[in-house]
Structure 1
Amino acid sequence: MLLKGKNIVIFGGSGAIGTAMAKEFVAEGGRVWLGARNQKRLDTAADKAGAASGTIETFKVDCLDATETTEALSILGARIGGIDVAINATSFMHDQGSNIDDLDLATFMSPVENFLSSLFNSCKAVVPHMGKRGQGVILTLSTPAGRTAPPGHLGYSVTCAGVEAFSRVLAAELGPRNIRVVCLGPHAISDAPQAGSYTGELFAPKAGALGLTVDQWLGGGAQTTMLGRLPTLDDVAQTAAFLASDKARSMTAAYVNLTAGMIPE
């Protein structure tokens, strides 16, 4: 069991990725705490991930609020005796598809401010509680948008590039404290919309503009990869479990390409 005995916190734990990771981490022996803003959605996610096993708990937190996040993690860290693994899987609606002519500064900056503020606040809050029970691990999430040039994705591409840079520099800062930082970069996840992910709503306008359903649009996206398919939620969760485990203890400041070989634009 890759994660036996590890205390794992997932920010954005009520989403499709957070739920899938929680289920996989519990199967690998971990104990999981799901944090998000909406308690009802947290309860649903915990039930789907296997809360009945007694190895999943929830806590309310808004990662855009630095004080609230710090206080929530201070209470949790003291109660459970330390945190081994932390993952930020928070997500925010943003613009995809508008070129600079149709963007205003606020729309451009929205994903930059939301995603990076959430990441900064959650990492700052969790770091004091890591490395006490052995090596600590922080997993971040990006997408190919940070490394390719998709038109109409100015704000989101800058955000993803920022997440990757943040992860590298944070890894350099925390390495001496025995804390690893790894960035996981999946392509669009094929089954995420059906699992309730916000990406269903995010992709709908782009699909509709081509006269396609979201599933059809994702099918076209699969043809832009070397393997002819997109990653699934299970792919993301299983890879995250390995990266969070001691099997990957020498990996830090790394970007893990989980795109099924996306062909660069």
Structure 2
Amino acid sequence: MLLDGRNAVVYGAGGAIGGAVARGFAKEGATVFLTGRTAAKLDKVAEDIRAEGGRAETAVVDALDERAVDAHADAVVAKAGSLDISFNLITHGDVQGTPMVEMSVADYLQPVATGVRTTFLTARAAARHMKRQRSGVILVFGGDGDPVREFHVGGLQAGFAALEAMRRQISAELGPFGVRAVTMRTGGIPEVVPPDLPGGEEIVAGLEKATMLGRCATLSDVGEVAAFVASDRARSMTAATVNISCGALVD
């Protein structure tokens, strides 16, 4: 297995993407420490993982709370012996569907402030242990992209761009200690579009039409790619983005 013996912390593991990544890690042998704000959602993901023979533990952690994040990372290392993979998938609270000229400053800045704060806190907590271990992988989700013409995304991309700047700096500072940092980009995952969302079918059709393969990445695809990137098979990969957009995003 690609991640046998590794310990992975997934923030926002109760969500669709976080859960998929956690399942991908567990499938490849990692012990997965699931965190989030809703115990019931975490328990469901943990049950799915255990049903497939995987190992998962849960903890209610606010990934915007500095003390809570640091304490949880320390507890993982104290119990498991290492913290090898960190992946933050919490919601950034972006406000979409409203033109920028009609938005409030608070709504535009929300995903920027939230994304930067939580990514900084969780990456720092992991990096303190990874630096000592001289190994580890920090994964970021999002990535820079071209302006969205068909839909108003508010501060979403501004937030993603800020995270990319942070990820590049993390890569530079932690590379000498054997710690890697990589961003995953998807271009959109139809499975996360709510079925009752007004105009949802058009959104999904637009996502698929934008690809070169005529299909989008699935949640399972995201989990499997995350597991590969976190493994030693990708040990030469850092300060980079992984494009799993089926050609919707052109590098």
TM-score, length of structure 1 as denominator length = 0.87
Aligned pair count? 248
- Contact kept in structure 1, 2:33 and 2:56, CA below 8 Å: yes
Distance in 1 (CA, whole Å) between partners of 2:215 and 2:117 is 32
2:122 is the counterpart of 1:122: yes
Note the residue ranges of structure 2 that are not aligned, 5 or more in a row: none
Matched residue SS, 2:155: helix
2-structure distance, mates of 1:256, 1:223: 21
Q: Tell which deviates more after alignment, 102-111 or 75-84.
A: 75-84
Q: Of 220, 223, 228, which aligns to 1:237?
A: 223
Question: Equivalent residue of 1:130, what SS?
Answer: helix
Give CA deviations for 1:149-181 in whole Å, capped at 9, x if unaligned. Answer: 115224111011111121111100110111000
The answer to whether the 8 Å contact 1:63/1:121 transfers is yes
Deviation (angstroms), 1:14: 0.9
State whether residues 93 and 114 of structure 2, in contact with CA within 8 Å, keep that contact through their aligned partners in structure 1: no
Q: Show the counterpart of 2:203.
A: 217
C-alpha contact 2:26 2:54 (8 A) present in aligned 1: no
Structure 1, gaps ≥5 residues long:
194-199
Q: Alignment identity in percent? A: 35
After TM superposition, give the deviation of residue 230 of structure 1 in Å.
1.0
Measure, in 1, the Cα distance between the counterparts of 2:37 and 2:3: 26
Aligned residue number for residue 241 of structure 2: 255
State whether residues 21 and 227 of structure 2, in contact with CA within 8 Å, keep that contact through their aligned partners in structure 1. yes
Q: Is the 8 A contact 2:84 2:136 kept in 1?
A: yes
Which residue of the partner structure matches residue 4 of structure 1? 4
- The answer to whether the 8 A contact 1:164-1:255 is kept is no
Pick which of 101-110 and 64-73 moved more. Answer: 64-73
Local SS of the residue matching 2:47: helix
Matched, 1:61 2:47: no
Aligned to 1:89: 89
Deviation at 1:133, TM superposition (A): 5.2
Say whether the 8 Å CA contact 1:19–1:49 is kept in structure 2: no
1:149 to 2:142 alignment: no
Comparing 181-190 and 53-62, the one that deviates more:
53-62
Q: Which residue of 2 aligns with 1:227?
A: 213
The TM-score normalised by the length of structure 2 is: 0.92
RMSD: 1.9
Mapped to 2, the partners of 1:108 and 1:233 lie a distance apart of 27
Give CA deviations for 1:76-119 in whole Å, capped at 9, x if unaligned: 22221111111111113321122222111100001111122111
Residues 51 and 57 of structure 1: CA distance in aligned 2, closer, same or farther (over 3 Å): farther
1 CA distance for matches of 2:138 and 2:51? 23
Cross-structure match for 1:70: 70
Give the conservation status (yes or no) of the 8 Å contact 1:82–1:132: no
Residues 187 and 249, structure 2, Cα contact 8 Å, conserved in 1? no
User: What is the deviation of 1:48?
Assistant: 2.4
Q: Taking structure 1 as reference, are residues 52 and 29 closer, same or farther at Cα in structure 2, changes over 3 Å only?
A: closer
Q: Is the 8 A contact 1:182 1:255 kept in 2?
A: yes
